[in-house]
Amino acid sequence: MTDSPQKSPEWFPIQPEGLSGQSDEALRESILAAEIHPLLCSLALLTNDHALIDPRFAPLVELPAAGPPPHWGLSDSLVEEARCLAFEHIGNIRDHINHLERDPSASMLEKTLAFAIGRDHGVSAGLIRRELDLPHDPGAPSWCAGDIAPGRQFRVAIVGAGMSGILVAHRLQQAGIDYTVFEKSDNVGGTWSQNTYPGCRLDTPNFAYSYAFAQNPHWPSEFSEQRDILKFFDQIAEKFSINDRVRLNTEVVAAHYQDETGQWQLRIHPAGKALEEYVYDVVISAVGQLGQPKIPEIAGAEEFAGKAWHTARWNHEVSLRGRRVGVIGTGASAYQVVPAILSEVAAVVVFQRNPPWMLPTPRYHEAITVAHRRLLSALPHYARWVRFFQVWATIRGRWDLVRVDETYRHPVSVSAANEALRQALEQQIQRHYADRPDLLRSQLPNYPPGAKRMLRDNGVWPAALKDPKVFVETRPISGISHSGVSVTADGSDADNQYPLDILIYATGFRASEFLLPMEITGSRGRNLHEWWHGEARAYLGMCVPGFPNFFCMYGPNTNLVVHGSLILFAESSANFIMECLKMLLEKKQQSMTVTDQAFQAFNEMIDHENTLMAWGVSTVSSWYKNDSGRVTQNWPLSIDAFYTMTEKPLPAHFSFEMLPS
Ligand code: NAP
């Protein structure tokens, strides 16, 4: 244990010297490529010029369903005026680079924030400060273990080195707590290391998909490709020295709580070696929700003579060139795979049950221009404001568009706002398939927007479905034989078979089977999976009664669908866990367990709130629900609600056990 807390080192530092060699023309080009509000806000902080944050330039407050319009609704003439102002200032900064003051005054920061988001937004100041990262890394623990519990042996095991595991490892390291991360695969990065299928890329805005304390101004795209996201996590694990503590190719197969000592015994399996056992004070599961592929049981599947695999286990050994390929599913994975393999394959049959709702996102595949990248990497504060505006848009998100109005009556939609969204999205689909009435019929969803994940629409999916190589089959699959997939026409016996060389299961994940196949027994031998009995629940998605000192990151009911970002949530979860550990160390306790009452009250509230969301009331199939139909995955409240609930643990919601003497 060390005895001074550490701030995160500066990550991808901005280099204003990059501005110094730029011609007026290059600066103009960058300003033209820039997002106007982040540009105004960053320059305001650098220059203290109030003209830059004149209310005339203020961004839209109420965002349309499709998300922020270009320049957040500012008129062309005001954008032009703002650009002229920005050009004067950037020219000045370039010419006096050595006198640049990068630390903004508190009052200018406050005024700039008020310009950017107003004052009546109702979002916690702490959340805003953390996401803006000004001052740097306010989410870092302000304490360290060596200080509050000198001499105490205290070890934490983290299961999984994905986005959540890396984050909580970093926080433990900052607080000087001894930890080990066990990762069953051969790389860090979790989902971004496992999903290597063609076309895999982010479908939430990229700047917001980075830790607030390690912002990356160098994203190549607004929705980057899998390899770039994986690189980000690889670099974080390397530069923050987390790699030294990660045991790759090592699966945690079991965790048993020992009542006598108040510690966890972990059984681990290093690939190809014998089982090993270790003892830890705390276990943090960071295994994610989407790690176990789901392959549906289809009669005859084992007889298929071609190659078959799941999207999350892509077989890179097999070429698709000239092959007849079947893709089962039309979720987020299939949606990216099908267009990406078209140029290679001879033909694709897409087996569809439910078509996706698509959100217009024209720039989905666009790269960030060189001119824009110059600004992102050289103008202090600019990238942080680009990220902040993305985060801000997702904090509000589309939550109110998918919330149920119990007084509203409609055969599909759940509220007037949901119906307005449905109509707008439907019109877009009608435009896409105006020339293909057959596809239009099959591509119009009959469930409310928000009941399943909405996918990014830049026209690529409709273009793929219209490609002569592609056939969309909507009749149910009746079986698989050695030569292909059969469908049955509306329950009749007249089978129709598609001969295939390759079958790709884009059929999602066993999401509601949290933490399987790990065997976890808590206090008095309570078996987690038996106790859950298919109904995974946790207090704040993290704590389960009878499982002392056991925490889940991205646990039950913490998935986000229409607002926020999983990274933002992970930062809140990591904060909560760190605060719990601080309580244990400060109070000289060995263990803490959430009480039954707190657990039950929380879950009753969550279940109720989920019945008020489109995904809760709709009967359409989705991975948000378990077999019994309960929403096991999603967070139904605001982003700020989670931030507030996870800011500090409430001691009354836990029972504690003293350190054995
Ligand atoms: P998914 O959303 O669960 O989709 C599975 C698909 O398989 C659905 O279309 C489903 O049909 C179909 N399916 C399942 N069993 C079937 C059967 N027996 N016969 C026919 N069709 C069947 O899985 P996913 O596409 O892998 O995506 C899961 C989640 O991963 C996403 O929602 C997202 O959160 C995440 N993801 C993110 C990204 C990204 O950020 N870029 C990319 C991929 C995935 P129904 O629709 O009828 O149920």
Helix 382-396, helix 125-132: angle, nearest 10: 140
- Contacts of range 400-409, beta carbons closer than 8 Å, 24 or more positions apart: 401/65, 401/449, 401/450, 401/562, 402/448, 402/449, 402/450, 402/451, 402/561, 402/562, 402/613, 402/614, 402/615, 403/612, 403/613, 403/614, 404/611, 404/612, 404/613, 404/614, 404/616, 404/617, 406/612
Residue 553 Cα to ligand 1 middle (Å): 22
pLDDT value at residue 660: 72
pTM across the whole model: 0.96
Report yes or no on 136 lying in a domain. no
Identify the residue whose tokens are 């008095």. 524
pLDDT above 70 for 397:
yes
Nearest CA to ligand 1 atom 28: 508
Per-residue pLDDT at 100: 85
Rounded mean pLDDT, 493-502: 84
Answer yes or no: is 248 within a domain.
yes
The answer on pLDDT for 1 being more than 80 is no
Residue 115 CB-density burial (10 A; 0-12 exposed, 13-18 middle, 19+ buried):
buried
Contact 69, 59 (CB under 8 A): no
Residue nearest to atom 22 of ligand 1 (CA): 329
Q: Whose alpha carbon is nearest atom 4 of ligand 1?
A: 331
Ligand 1: residue whose CA is nearest its atom 36: 332
What is the CA(195)–ligand 1 centre distance, in A?
Answer: 13
Q: What is the pLDDT of residue 255?
A: 98
Q: How far is the CA of 506 from the centre of ligand 1 (A)?
A: 6
Same domain, 501 and 548: no
Q: Is the pLDDT of residue 535 over 70?
A: yes
Do 527 and 483 fall into the same domain? no
What angle do helix axes 24-33 and 76-95 make, rounded to 10 degrees? Answer: 140
- Whole-number Å distance, alpha carbon 349 to ligand 1 midpoint, is 16
pLDDT for 2: 52
Same domain, yes or no, for 263 and 410?
A: no
- pLDDT by residue (tens digit) across 77-89? 999 999 999 999 9
What is the distance of C-alpha 114 from the center of its chain? 27
Contacts with 567 (C-beta within 8 Å, 6 or more apart), sequence order: 163, 167, 208, 209, 210, 211, 212
CATH assignment of the domain containing 429: 3.50.50.60
Residue 449 lies in a domain: yes
Q: Count Cβ atoms within 10 A of the Cβ of residue 107 and give its class: 0-12 exposed, 13-18 middle, 19 or more buried.
A: exposed
Q: What was the pLDDT predicted at 65?
A: 78
Pairwise CA distance, residues 131 & 113, whole Å: 12
Ligand 1 centre distance from Cα of residue 1 (Å): 44
Same domain flag for 155 and 257: yes
Whether residue 132 lies inside any domain: the answer is no
Strands (DSSP E) contained in 239-315 are 246-247, 250-258, 263-270, 276-280, 282-285, 307-310
- Condensed to tens digits (0 to 9), the pLDDT of residues 326-348 reads 999 999 999 999 999 999 999 99
Q: What is the Å distance from ligand 1's center to 633 Cα? A: 14
- Percent of the chain's residues with pLDDT above 70: 98
What pLDDT sits at residue 12? 75
Q: Reply yes or no on whether the pLDDT at 539 is more than 70.
A: yes
Please tell me the predicted confidence (pLDDT) of residue 367. 96
Q: Are residues 155 and 276 in the same domain?
A: yes
**Residue owning the nearest CA to atom 5 of ligand 1:** 507
Residue 569 Cα, ligand 1 centroid: separation in angstroms?
Answer: 22
Tokens 């406050």 — which residue? 110
My answer on whether 417 and 527 are in the same domain is no
Q: Cα of 185 to ligand 1 centre, how many Å? A: 22
In this structure, the answer to whether residues 318 and 461 fall within a common structural domain is yes
Between the CA of 455 and the centroid of ligand 1 the distance, in Å, is 11
Locate 185 and state its tokens: 């695969």
Chosen domain end from 475, 505, 535: 505
Under the banding of pLDDT at 50, 70 and 90, the label for residue 661 is: low
Among 330, 507, 633, name the best residue to mutate to test ligand 1's pocket (greatest count of ligand atoms within 8 A of Cβ): 507
**Mean predicted confidence (pLDDT) in 213-239:** 96
From 230, 338, 623, 627, give the residue whose CB has the most ligand 1 atoms within 8 Å, as the site to mutate.
Answer: 623
pLDDT tens by residue, 563-591 = 999 999 999 999 999 999 999 999 999 99
* Residue 567: domain span: 151-292+511-655
Ligand 1 atom showing the smallest separation from residue 202 Cα: 41
Residues 160 and 41 occupy one common structural domain = no
Name the residue type at position 329.
G
| Model pLDDT, residue 98 | 83
pLDDT band at residue 9 under the 50/70/90 scheme: confident
Ligand 1 atom closest to Cα of 204?
A: 40
Write down the pLDDT at residue 489: 64
**pLDDT at residue 492 tops 70:** no
Question: 7 in a domain, yes or no?
Answer: no
**Sequence-distant (≥ 6) Cβ neighbours of residue 273 within 8 angstroms:** none
Q: Do 66 and 165 lie in a common domain?
A: no
pLDDT bracket for residue 493 (50, 70, 90): low
Number of separate domains in the chain: 3
CB 638 within 8 A of CB 614: no
Q: Write the CB contacts of 95 (distance below 8 Å, at least 6 apart in sequence).
A: none
Q: Is the residue at 43 inside a domain?
A: yes
- Above 70 in pLDDT, residue 113? yes
Sign (positive/negative) of CA torsion 336, 341, 343, 345? negative
Closest CA to 206 of 190, 224, 191: 224
Q: Which residue has the tokens 């607002």?
A: 563
Domain boundary pick from 505, 521, 550: 505
Ligand 1 pocket: which of 210, 290, 624 to mutate (most atoms within 8 A of CB): 290
C-alpha 244 to ligand 1 mean position (Å)? 35
CA of 331 to the centre of ligand 1 (A): 4
Residue 447 has pLDDT above 90, yes or no: yes
Distance CA 401, CA 419 (A): 9
Q: How confident is the model at residue 488 (pLDDT cuts 50, 70, 90)?
A: confident
User: What is the rounded average pLDDT of the residues 55-59?
Assistant: 97
Instruction: Tell me if 146 is assigned to some domain.
Output: no
Which residue's alpha carbon is at the smallest distance from atom 3 of ligand 1? 508
Give the residue, out of 351, 452, 453, with the most ligand 1 atoms within 8 A of its beta carbon, to mutate for a pocket test: 453
Name the one residue in this structure whose structure tokens are 């409430």.
650
pLDDT of residue 494: 55
Does some domain include residue 55?
yes
**Is the domain of 160 the same as that of 21?**
no
Residues with CB under 6 A from ligand 1: 201-203, 290, 296, 311, 328-334, 336, 351, 353-354, 453, 477, 506-508, 621, 623
Question: Which tokens go with 602?
Answer: 């929380």
376 and 218 Cβ atoms separated by less than 8 Å? yes
The neighbour count for residue 297, using CB atoms within 10 Å, is 5
What is d(CA 176, CA 6) in angstroms, rounded to the nearest whole number?
A: 8
Tell me: do 522 and 630 sit in the same domain. yes
**What residue's CA is closest to ligand 1, atom 12?**
329
Same structural domain, 268 and 175: yes
CA pair distance 368, 251, nearest whole angstrom? 38
Phi–psi pair at 462, nearest 5 degrees? -60, -40
Going by alpha carbons, the residue nearest to atom 35 of ligand 1 is: 332
Cα of 487 vs centre of ligand 1, distance in Å, is 20
First-to-last alpha carbon distance for the chain, in angstroms, is 21
Q: Is the pLDDT of residue 194 over 60?
A: yes
Q: Is the pLDDT of residue 540 over 80?
A: yes
